[in-house]
Chains A and B, each alone.
Chain A
């Protein structure tokens, strides 16, 4: 059963990032950092990993002089997340029996 788990979601923070991007059209870096309570470096590395498998898309915009980086879930990422949750739910059902 465990081999059906998505490798990209093995890490808890990555699964959390994906969950937030499922519930919101887009979310910016600082808001994610505050919501999840993680450090800059930690969040950046997990975002990179999700970007690498093309589960999320990155938008850079300028607000005044500062860059404002926001993220949104790609179609691929949305499907992967839905499948991952389904796997979890099935696992729970199986264990109940």
Chain B
């Protein structure tokens, strides 16, 4: 074997080790879209609570009103389902293009790692809503989602860890500044998703997708 052959052999082995342990079909494009859904959802939520009739910053309604609460929960659920659906759809499409399945040891590891903090956080948020303590709902969403991303990052692109840490930081800031939840929620689930989705799209998908 000559020099180039040896080096490319070593490189392909390293690449295989990485590819076998990490889910590399995660779609950056789906991150961008999820961020857009979140921003639209936040805008709709803002309209429900603050109304359009008064000046910015003055409320027409309060979250404690049942009708408003139901609408907010519906908006949040639609955003969540759309985001998950888009992520699965686009990741499956990317996996097909890479000649891989979407269901493999790496994706199973990713789901397991992400699932625990996400389910725990989701239940915790539901309990808070049921008990009428709404103040920490948005910070809890951000913090638990961030923890899920950090936990899952070892099974996919390393960039996801950075995104997770930023979500946790935003969640903690939101907890310190009551009343600004929607802004932090929009920054975390909207702006950061678009930003990281774009970075991942440029880094890993241009030319592939």
Contact = CB atoms under 8 A, between A and B. Distances in A.
Interface of A: 15-16, 19-20, 22-24, 26-28, 31, 34-35, 37, 85, 88-89, 91-92, 95-96
B77 interface: no
A92 B6 CA distance: 7
A26 B109 CA distance: 11
Nearest to B3: A95
Which secondary structure characterizes the binding site on chain B?
helix
B13 A91 contact: no
Interface of B: 1-3, 6-7, 9-10, 13, 16-21, 99-101, 104-105
A23 B108 CA distance: 15
Contacts of B6: 88, 91-92, 95
The 4 closest A-B pairs by CB, nearest first: A23-B17, A20-B20, A23-B21, A95-B3
Nearest to A23: B17
A25 to B, nearest CB: 9
B20 A27 contact: yes
Contacts of B105: 24, 26-28, 31
Contact of A20 (B1, B2, B16, B100): B16
29 contacts: A15-B13, A16-B13, A16-B16, A19-B13, A19-B16, A19-B17, A19-B20, A20-B16, A20-B17, A20-B20, A22-B17, A23-B21, A24-B105, A26-B105, A27-B105, A28-B105, A31-B104, A31-B105, A34-B101, A34-B104, A35-B16, A35-B100, A35-B104, A37-B99, A85-B10, A88-B9, A88-B10, A92-B6, A95-B2
A17 B16 CA distance: 9
Contacts of A89: 10
B20 to A, nearest CB: 4
B7 A35 contact: no
Contacts of A37: 99
A24 B3 contact: no
